[in-house]
Structure 1
Amino acid sequence: MKITKNKVGAALIMIAVLAAAYIWGGGYARRVEPAPQTASVAEQGPVPPADVSPAEPAGEQATPGPTDASVPNQAETPVTPQETGSTQPKLNPPADGKQLTGEEKLALAAAAGGDKSSPGVQKGSEEYSEKQGMAIDPGTGKDKYQTAPVPEGKPVPVEPKNAVVGETAYTCTLSVECSTILDNIKNLDKDKKELVPEDGIIFPPTKVTFYEGESVFNVLQREMKRNKIHMEFVDVPIYNSAYIEGINNLYEFDCGELSGWMYTVNDWFPNYGCSRYQLKDGDVVKWLYTCDLGRDVGGYYAVGEP
């Protein structure tokens, strides 16, 4: 296209007119005013958080907003199963809330009993017990593990460290029951009611194998594990024996302050721990839950007797 003088002149006139209109309308003044620029920053600042420095208070407040709302949820999540874990074995503590040691539990039970043994409890014979190998302290009338003499015809305790387990296999009859709870169900920990069988039988009388030199404790521990029945015990050095705290998640004190587990062998309630009772072929072992320190099952030993 050919540019003529007339076209160039027309273009120059148009540019001059536009420039005059821009200056006359105040466009130049608006370009140098800071107000519009400041308002623009204020409107856009909160929108992109990346524009705000983390060191500034605004940045610190913006970040914790969602974080504060989520942290309590994270903290509450693990707490819930810990507080509602009712399947965990639980021991009801004394009124002061302190958990007793094994020695303290046995001492408390003895002190709470009374002064008269159950009718079936036989008086021990010091002469007989010493002939069987018990070392009786003349001052206390007991051996070094606080065991009184046993009745005539009954086996004396055998210390676990002295027991020699052989390969000869024998059989005994073992059973576990808690039928006394059925008569005292109102005293049972409400969380434990579903653990009590309708007939009170946890493990029916069953012939089981044991080996020469094994104790009542050895057999109970093995058979409960084999049959997937919960059992918990604690070693009590002062009595040199294991102390059975709970079977089938039923613990001492679950059905009153005088409740717990006892055992009999051939209908005799030994006056020493199950780790020290060495089994013989054909023995009949029963584990019984008492709600009255043995009175309700015929095995209560009064303090100082027999």
Structure 2
Amino acid sequence: MLVTVIVPVYNVEKYLGKCVESIIGQTHQNTEIILVDDGSKDQSGMMCDAIGRTDSRIRVIHQKNMGLSGARNSALDIMQGDAVTFVDSDDTLDTNMIETLVKDMEEYDADIVECQFYEVFGDRVDVFDYLGDTKVYNAEQALLIDLGSKGGSIAACGKLYRRHIFAEHRFEAGRLGEDAFAIIGSLRQANRIVIDHRPMYYYYHRNNSITTEGFSEKTLDEIEGAKRNLEIVEKEFPKAMPGAMFRYDWSYLWVLDRILLGGQWRENKHLKDIMRHIRKHFFRIIKCPYFTRNRKIGAAVASISPGIYRKIVVRTWSRKWR
């Protein structure tokens, strides 16, 4: 099986080499690697060309900046593989990830195969919740798992898709958290989804400043994406509603964190609406099995005092890098 590996590239000269090395070194060698230089302003574009000259499997696209979705879409338009996977240019893969996902896809006649993630914070590596055996699901069942974050993920990465999944489906351009807008569009094209609960994808959290992790108007895309998914799930995949509702409430807490991590948080014009939602649906959040204990405690503190909750958010963020 020829697998296309799509890597959007934008200002990642520090990380690109390690990322591509982990793809070139895969035990499954029948790959087409498409590096999309999305208008990089550093040396990333030149690095793509240099790396491309070292391996005939690598194709390089240079384009004006169109964002992550635009870069992925450009590569999808020219891909030749029987299946496709996406890798962010500052992440890496286990050596046998593609081989394992291909075997799962062929063994179970699956349209999409998902694996677990390693989360990397500096020198510390955490593993997403591990559920056990590899299993086959339909779209509704997989949505419940992916939206509910219990052994799944809405991320486009860490998944292998048969070519037909993207015959018409594309990523929505200009969005923050674009994967939230794409997850249903991908899964609704699939009859059989396999979730392999072995971690194989390394997702790197970069130690940016608290200010750059703060709020912008684009941050609200997270809520819009979750709301759109909630509406679709209610109509088409009702058994996945607990996961979609969790994701919707989670998006408000996530946006609140971004507001509180930024400066002048008290003056943020969206703070009142965010707090209104959290307080109105507090008991739903507390009763939801998908929220962690710490998240529930955080929601309780936030509903009483955003200022106190802010101290928790800042301290938690700092501890991740110790």
Kindly name which structure, 1 or 2, has the bigger radius of gyration based on alpha carbons: 1
Give the number of the structure whose residues are more often helix, by fraction.
Answer: 2
For normalisation by structure 2, the TM-score amounts to 0.18
Structure number with higher relative contact order (C-alpha < 8 Å, ≥ 6 residues apart): 1
For normalisation by structure 1, the TM-score amounts to 0.19
